[in-house]
Amino acid sequence: MKFKITIEYCTLCQWTPRAVWMTQELLYTFHQQVSEVSLIPTDGGVFKISVNDQLVWDRKESGFPEPKAVKQKIRDVVEPDRSLGHSDR
Amino acid sequence: MKFKITIEYCTLCQWTPRAVWMTQELLYTFHQQVSEVSLIPTDGGVFKISVNDQLVWDRKESGFPEPKAVKQKIRDVVEPDRSLGHSDR
């Protein structure tokens, strides 16, 4: 069962490059498991990452993530038994 | 009425960076008009760009596009009266 990742980000904050970078990181790690990675431009200082509409990262709670932390969160939701190799160390 | 852009691309062909680059280009030009830009990893040499499920670019017919050409195609579908500035010259 493939899953969808969604990244909502604030364009006024100039976070487009950051959101796009995260997209590429997640596509490289999960391209075989993901149906779609979706970028949603918004405002209000939002930077949120969700998997199948389940929020896994919110900048307002946890600050900006390293890709490694997001990959672990996503893995924990969608395939908890998978090792992420060096992203788990 | 906001629109959705979809980019389907072949991961086996190593087109992830190209697809992500195009995503960033389109987000910069259309961030106020777009609800979502979605990346769909697939195979088979696919590189297709759609707007609201209407195909606007297919590599198998037209080769790889410059961002300018894609922006013009999208503009023609969603807001034909808009000038794209230097992307129209």
CATH of the domain at B46: 3.40.30.10
Which member of B20, B32, B36 has the closest CB to residue A24?
B20
Name the residue among A23, A34, A38 with its Cβ closest to that of B36: A38
- DSSP letter at A37 equals E
Contacts of A30 (CB under 8 A, 6+ apart): A5, A71, A74, A78
Answer yes or no: do A41 and B28 touch at CB < 8 A. Answer: no
Q: pLDDT by residue (tens digit) across B13-34?
A: 999 999 999 999 999 999 999 9
The answer to whether residue B64 is domain-embedded is: yes
Mean pLDDT of all residues in B34-57: 97
Residue B66 lies in a domain: yes
Residue A52 domain-assigned (yes or no): yes
The interface pTM score, or ipTM, of the predicted complex is: 0.92
Nearest by CB to A39, from B17, B36, B40: name it: B36
For residue B87, tell me if it sits in a domain: no
Cβ of B16 and A37 within 8 Å?
no
**Average confidence score pLDDT of chain A:** 94
Q: Quote the pTM value.
A: 0.93
Q: How far apart are the first and last CA of chain B?
A: 27
Tell whether A89 is covered by a domain.
Answer: no
Query: pLDDT by residue (tens digit) across A28-58?
Result: 999 999 999 999 999 999 999 999 999 999 9
Q: Kindly report the nearest CA distance between residue A17 and chain B, in angstroms.
A: 7
Full residue range of the structural domain in which residue A77 is found = 3-82
Name the domain count of chain A: 1
**pLDDT over 70 percentage in chain A:** 99
Residue B33 domain-assigned (yes or no) = yes
